[in-house]
Amino acid sequence: MPNRDEKILVVGACGQIGVELTLQLRKMHREGVVIASDLREEHPLLKGTGPYVSLDIMNKETFHVLVLRYNITQVYLLAAILSATGEKNPTLAWHINMQSLLNVLEVAKEENLAKIYWPSSIAVFGPDSPKHNTPQHTVIEPTTVYGISKFAGERWCEYYFNRYNVDVRSLRYPGLISYKSQPGGGTTDYAIEIFHDALSNGHYTSFLNENTYLPMMYMPDAIRATIELMEADASKIKVRSSYNIGAMSFSPGDIAAEIKKHFPDFTIRYKPDSRQNIANSWPRSIDDSEAKNDWGWKPEYDIERMTEDMLKNLQH
């Protein structure tokens, strides 16, 4: 049951995850409880659904004032530079991904905020991590600036929990597939583009090779995982860095075959670019047994169900 005194701020609410998370949180809470914020203009799907404020999370003072003005008790921090974009400007990606998190953790500490959510990624793993069923605790030597920033962010989250008792919670999302808002510059974006191109011209040129397997998840599962983690009793949250979570694992070849079941004339060509190196450094599948054991995580969508749902919604 949502607490009547909660006031929730979503930072980066106009991105791929932010739009859907904000809409879901607004379904669960009274009007005015969930405040959306972003650098960008308000996303069309958010318009008319609740309060929206323009915010650059890099400005700690503005963020602090906003927290006080709206009596914010929980923050979901989704602003970040993703893997492929990060490689184009590594120092900027490091700066934004780290400083945004430190600004939120510091204000959470100073104002004694109730809960913070910050996502990590499968990108924390590197070429020397086990590729199959990558465990929660294993070799973590990321080779992208995005992965380095996510790993450092995980350490900061655990540090603020241990040292200052900030109740910060985190998931290592796999690649997320969705249709409501555009993806933001990641290596797994091919798994969204392929649906749009299949429907618009019956063909897709993949920037990853046919057999590049990566852990993936459909957005409804990711939103549910996020909210279930945030609603779990604090005593159940044993991992204060970030939890592995999984749902499915597939390659461009697999998803093309799945789309062909619906559109037999669909064709695909493989033309890998620099994103192939990023994908090669990541796990093929994830062991999420700690999330399952600690707070009951269970995915609902596999590749068949996700493909059907994506095609149905994109054709509307």
Q: Which of 2, 44, 56, 112 binds ligand NAD (CB under 6 A)?
A: 56
Residues that bind ligand SER (CB under 6 A): 82-83, 121, 123, 146, 175, 186-188
- Write a three-state SS string for the chain: CCCCCCCEEEECCCCHHHHHHHHHHHHHCCCCCEEEEECCCCCCCCCCCCCEEECCCCCHHHHHHHHHHCCCCEEEECCCCCHHHHHHCHHHHHHHHHHHHHHHHHHHHHHCCCEEECCEEHHHCCCCCCCCCECCCCCCCCCCHHHHHHHHHHHHHHHHHHHHCCCEECEEECEEECCCCCCCCCHHHHHHHHHHHHHHHCEEEECCCCCCCEEEEEHHHHHHHHHHHHHCCHHHCCCCCCEECCCEEECHHHHHHHHHHHCCCCEEEECCCCHHHHHHCCCCCECCHHHHHHHCCCCCCCHHHHHHHHHHHHCC
Stretch that binds ligand NAD, among 72-80, 134-142, 240-248, 305-313 (CB under 6 A): 72-80
Q: Which residue, 80 or 303, is less far from ligand NAD as judged by CB?
A: 80
Q: Which is nearer to ligand SER, 63 or 118 (CB)?
A: 118
Backbone φ, ψ for residue 302 (5° rounding):
-105, -175
CA-nearest of 311, 295, 158, 130 to 215 is 130
Catalytic pick among 52, 76, 146, 243? 146
**Interface residues for ligand NAD in 101-120 (CB under 6 A)?**
119
User: Which among ligand SER, ligand NAD, none contacts residue 83 (Cβ within 5 to 8 A by kind)?
Assistant: ligand SER
Q: Which token pair is 43?
A: 């996303």
| Residue number, nearest CB to ligand SER | 186
Residue 85: CB minimum distance to ligand NAD, A? 8
**Nearest distance, CB of residue 176 and ligand SER, angstroms:** 6
Please, which of residues 173-232 interact with ligand NAD by CB under 6 A?
A: 173, 175-176, 183-184, 186, 188
* Nearer to ligand SER (CB atom), residue 186 or residue 246: 186
**Length in residues, the chain:** 316
Q: Figure out which of the listed residues 9, 22, 23, 38 binds ligand NAD, where binding follows CB under 6 A.
A: 38
Q: How far is the CB of 205 from ligand NAD (least distance, A)?
A: 20
**Is 148 or 266 the residue whose CB approaches ligand NAD more closely?**
148
Pick what 57 binds: ligand NAD, ligand SER, none; C-beta below 5 to 8 Å, kind-dependent.
ligand NAD
Clarify whether 173 is annotated catalytic.
no
Minimal CB distance to ligand NAD: which residue? 15
Q: Which residues are catalytic?
A: 146
Catalog residues that contact ligand NAD under the rule CB under 6 A: 11-12, 14-18, 38-40, 55-58, 78-80, 82, 119, 121, 173, 175-176, 183-184, 186, 188
